[in-house]
């Protein structure tokens, strides 16, 4: 009897991305580009108050978010999908102080983590294991990003916001590599 290499599964093996997964990925591209806008607005705020290290940190973060959006963009193209670039909402631009900004960053990163987990779960439900595998890298990265932001929040809360302390935190944030 010849070997039968057919795979019996409820999932297809199509290289093309399905419309539902394509749509949720296009929405994620928009969220990543919005995140970049948000971090650039924060960077402008920090530059305006003379915290160049904080400004640098948020610019590096903006660059990472753009890279994430472009990776997802390229992934959709590789899967023979269609790109649907959507309007990017204007970010918040009025901030109170560095602690408030980093608390907003943490809140935003948690929203992005939830969004990425939704993409992962949805792609799993749609039997799109390629997308599930692709998106897993972002889940790990989100854990890292949230932890970095939380570290900055803890530093500010522990040491305070007096000028000498902020000077040292600013110098520390300037060390972030792009």
Share the mean pLDDT of the chain: 92
Q: Give the residue extent of every domain in the chain.
A: 19-174
| Alpha carbon distances (Å) from 11 to 14, 99, 124, 129, 154 | 9, 47, 10, 9, 46
| Average pLDDT, consecutive stretches of 10 residues, N- to C-terminus, the chain (178 residues) | 48 78 98 98 97 97 97 97 97 95 98 97 95 95 95 94 90 91
DSSP code, position 168:
H
Can you name the CATH fold of 19-174?
Ferritin (1.20.1260)
| pTM to 2 decimal places | 0.90
- Cα first-last separation, the chain: 59
Give the per-residue pLDDT at 13: 60
Taking only Cα atoms into account, the Rg of the chain, rounded to an integer number of angstroms, comes to 20
Number of helices (H), then strands (E), in the chain: 5, 0
Give the per-residue pLDDT at 10: 59
- How far, in Å, CA of 119 to CA of 93, rounded? 28
CB hemisphere CA count around 99 (13 angstroms): 11
Give the per-residue pLDDT at 178: 79
């Amino acid at each position: 009897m010849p070997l039968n290499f057919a795979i019996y599964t409820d999932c297809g093996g199509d290289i093309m991305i399905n419309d539902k997964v394509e749509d949720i990925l296009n929405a994620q591209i928009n969220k990543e580009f919005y995140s970049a806008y948000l971090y650039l607005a924060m960077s402008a705020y920090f530059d305006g108050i003379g915290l160049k290290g904080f400004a640098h940190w948020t610019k590096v973060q903006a660059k990472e978010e753009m890279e994430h959006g472009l990776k997802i963009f390229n992934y959709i193209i590789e899967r023979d999908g269609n790109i649907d670039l959507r309007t990017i909402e204007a970010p918040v631009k009025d901030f109170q102080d560095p602690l408030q900004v980093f608390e907003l960053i943490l809140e935003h990163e948690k929203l992005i983590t939830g969004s990425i987990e939704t993409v992962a779960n949805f792609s799993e439900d749609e039997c799109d294991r390629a997308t599930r595998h692709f998106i897993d890298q972002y889940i790990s990265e989100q854990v890292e990003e949230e932890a970095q932001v939380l570290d900055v929040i803890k530093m500010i809360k522990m040491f305070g916001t007096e000028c000498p302390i902020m000077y040292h935190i600013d110098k520390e944030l300037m060390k972030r590599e792009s």
